[in-house]
Amino acid sequence: MGSIKCNWADNSGGKLPLLVSFWGNEDGGSRRRGLKVMREKIKNSWVEFNDFARKALEMGRSDPRKVIFAVKMGLALSLTSLLIFWKGSYQDFAQYSIWAILTVIVMFEFSIGATFIKGFNRGLGTLCAGILAFCFAELSVVAGKFEEVVIVISIFLTGFCASYLKLYPTMKPYEYGFRVFVLTYCILMVAGNRTREYSQAVLTRLVLIAAGAGVTLVVNICIFPIWAGESLHKLVVKNFKDLATSLEGCVNGYLQCVEYERIPSKILTYQAADDPLYNCYRSVVQSTSEEDTLLGFATWEPPHGPYRHNYPWENFVKVSGAVKHCAFTVMALHGCILSEIQAPADRRHVFSNELQKVGSEGAKVLRELGSKLEKMEKLSPGDILKNVHEAAEQLQQKIDHKSYVLVNSEGWEIGGRPMELDLEDLINAAEDENMKLGSKSLSEAVLEVRSVSVGTALCYDAKNTLRTWPSNVSANGGSMVKGDEFKTYESASALSLATFTSLLIEFVARLGNVVSSFEELSLKANFKDPPIINMPPEPCKGIAT
């Protein structure tokens, strides 16, 4: 007790506490800090592992095909590994069974088409390497004391030719085959030189590779096959639905004056973000590489299901390309929502009904085409674009009638031109049937402008605060800009509305390409006819007696 009291008294004067002295001064504190850091790392590692396990389970639930693929891969490997226990007279099968196992590992792909491509590349590369190795092996034996020189030169020539040819553009699909060719040739030459049995080494490896390829094809095709063509079909259908969702969301968001307090940096750099509208059209635009890959796999697949021989898979990509052409317009529409220069809500309200109708009808056409493509049906009789064209015409007529909302009407020519016209101009105007002689005076134009409550272009209340341009324009209803400068900013904000409406009309014009591409696909793919809907007969009216 006395020693403890002494320690406490010694440490009470601003020195180390009693517990630190007990653990050994500074060494004890460092030890405790190290244990604390270790506990934090273990805790963080456990949290990350739980998060990884949760995401892995969610991936399996969202796409069960991935679980099936993993099971098939394990089954194929286990079947091939039975060659290890080969007890027959030919013991080389058990010794070199790793070749069959490696063949399964490199050939077994997610889709059937990818497996066929890998199998073809590996089979062709192995066969060519085997034939060439056999020829050079015989030549090296004949060379006698120059055997090593022949082997080294042959390996150099083989590596040079294969590496150069695989860089040729048309040889890109067979790049893996060239790698297998060089690898197999080198291994065969080395193994044959060691055992002095070139023919036996070549034959053994060819048989084992064929066995591994056979197991791969049987398991991958016969057990829950995953077709690349079907994946391509579903991807194009998904593009239709995603683009329809983005179109409706952009129009509704613009009319509701949806505003970003701060544009996410990921959107500015075109990365994946949490914005659903952005992600939808981004997935459509970025699906090109996936479509090209699936197209290459689908062309190798045998006929299956509704997909007959020589199926026009290229037209699926062509239809998706037309959808991407429309997606670029939707991207620009979303850019209007993200822009720094914004039109006021009351100006947008002038065209709200027409904009809403064009957006809904355009999305309806996309969903109808996506549904038809999913069911593999032809379009129903009639014009599928009739309603959306009518909506676009109504929007254009509204723009023509209310064009003063989109520009500064004080700068119109009707306000500054002379009232007197030359006789020759009047005669020419009278002869032109398409020219209207009536015109509004400046007072009439200003009166009509004032009949619509347009307000100011850059000043909003607290509930509808938009970004302002320039920075010296207040968002609280006041402005530091005077005179002509404010009119310039007002005109710019009005033109942003004109940009949005013109882009929406452009989207309707591009829909025609989508419909044409779909009709071409439906003819080449021999889609089934749409179901005939029988209208109920009208009841016969009885004759009164």
Q: How far apart are CA 288 and CA 281, in angstroms?
A: 13
* Alpha-carbon span 274 to 529, nearest angstrom: 40
How many structural domains comprise the chain?
A: 2
> How many CA atoms does the CB half-sphere of 332 hold within 13 Å?
17
C-beta separation of 370 from 240 below 8 A: yes
Q: Is there a domain that residue 33 lies in?
A: no
Query: 194: burial class by Cβ within 10 Å (0-12, 13-18, 19+)?
Result: exposed
Instruction: Quote the pLDDT of residue 219.
Output: 92
Domain identity same for 206 and 244: no
Q: Identify whether residues 145 and 232 lie together within a single domain.
A: no
* Single-letter residue type at 175: E
The boundaries of the domain holding residue 202 are: 45-222
Assess if residue 108 is contained within a domain: yes
State residue 487's pLDDT score.
Answer: 64
Q: Are residues 210 and 237 in the same domain?
A: no
Residues 59 and 197 in one domain: yes
The set of residues, in sequence order, having a beta carbon less than 8 Å from that of 510 and lying 6+ positions away, is 322, 325, 326, 329
Q: State the CATH number of the domain containing residue 371.
A: 1.20.58.220
**pLDDT tens digits along 155-173:** 899 999 999 998 888 888 7
2 in a structural domain: no
Same domain, 302 and 238: yes
Query: Does residue 279 share a domain with residue 190?
Result: no
Distances (CA, A) of 483 to 323, 340, 413, 489: 46, 22, 21, 11
Q: Residues 6 or more apart from 247 whose CB is under 8 A from it? A: 330, 333, 359, 362, 363, 366, 507
Q: Is residue 431 part of a domain?
A: no
Q: Does some domain include residue 3? A: no
Please say whether the beta carbons of 265 and 344 come within 8 A: no
292 and 173 within one domain: no
Q: Are residues 51 and 103 in the same domain?
A: yes
What is the structure's pLDDT at 30? 78
**DSSP designation for 454:** -
Q: Which of 203, 222, 241 is the last residue of a domain?
A: 222
- pLDDT tens, residue by residue, 404-421: 777 765 555 544 444 444
470 found inside a domain: no
Please tell me the predicted confidence (pLDDT) of residue 388. 92
Does residue 215 lie within any of the structural domains? Answer: yes
| Measured CA distances, 495 to 262, 282, 355, 451, 486 (Å) | 23, 26, 16, 20, 14
**Which phi and psi (to 5°) does residue 473 adopt?**
-95, 125
Whether residue 325 sits in one domain with residue 207: no
Spans in the chain with pLDDT lower than 50: 1-2, 4-24, 414-423, 425-427, 429-481, 543-545
> Are 139 and 259 within one domain?
no
